[in-house]
Amino acid sequence: MQLDVPVIGILRGVEGSFFRELMAVAFGAGLQAMEITMNTPGAVDIVAGCRGDVPADRYLGMGTVRCLEEARAAIDCGAMFLVTPNTSVRVIEFAGKKGVPVIAGAFTPTEVYTAWSAGAEMVKVFPCGVVGPEYIRELRGPFDQIPMIAVGGVNIHNIGDYFACGAAGVGIGNSLFGRAAMAEKDLESVAKNVGEYLNAIRKATADSIAKY
């Protein structure tokens, strides 16, 4: 899964009737990857219903995939990638056999290496909000071969710090789309918020490359 701008939009608890419009607007604004969490009511039906509307260079995945049963349901409904909050070797290996990439959740050094060794495409360091960007830098010391996505507590003010510390990407929830815009279902403002985040990430990644 190649992303020109390395960010995954995370949506939880979104109504199915609104998700299709939201997806179209966010993808149109330049976002390349979105996940809807498995614990969103009707998540399986939402993915199944929207999968056919995903453009060729965009990705719709299922997040908060916690166990093998949820992984199976997510893949069966058409999820293009899985994101887990935990390190489940069974989920990673099952998805690998199905040809579906997994961004596996991990927190400790042991979990990070276990997820990567099991076949995760990337490792989601979660929850980053309780430790901050420097934790990514520390993990990257021994595990510089493992691409890590920072999730939890990432916002437009600290994105640059995460990339400067070695994050390969970030996962962002409602703030990416705009909390007020989401509450009001203001799609024009959603597109504007997504665009602002993408510009901030482009700058952050360019700065981190220039640094090295």
Q: How far apart are CA 96 and CA 169, in angstroms?
A: 21
CATH code assigned at 23: 3.20.20.70
In this structure, is residue 1 part of a structural domain?
Answer: no
Q: What is the pTM of this model?
A: 0.95
* Model pLDDT, residue 67: 98
10-residue averages of pLDDT along the chain (212 residues):
94 94 98 98 98 97 99 99 98 98 99 99 97 98 98 96 97 96 97 98 80 48
Q: Is residue 106 one of the residues assigned to a domain?
A: yes
Q: Which of 15, 21, 35, 134 is catalytic?
A: 35
185 catalytic? Reply is: no
pLDDT score at 108: 98
For the question of residue 134 being annotated catalytic, the response is no
pLDDT of residue 2: 86
Structurally, how many domains does the chain consist of? 1
Q: What is the pLDDT of residue 209?
A: 54
Q: What is the DSSP letter of 178?
A: -
| Candidates 15, 93, 97, 124; catalytic one | 124
d(CA 81, CA 83): 7
Residue numbers of the domain that contains 37: 7-211
8 backbone dihedrals φ, ψ, rounded to 5°:
-115, 125
- Identify the pLDDT of residue 196: 97
Q: Kindly state whether residue 61 falls inside one of the protein's structural domains.
A: yes
pLDDT value at residue 212: 43
- For 147, the token pair is 């691409």
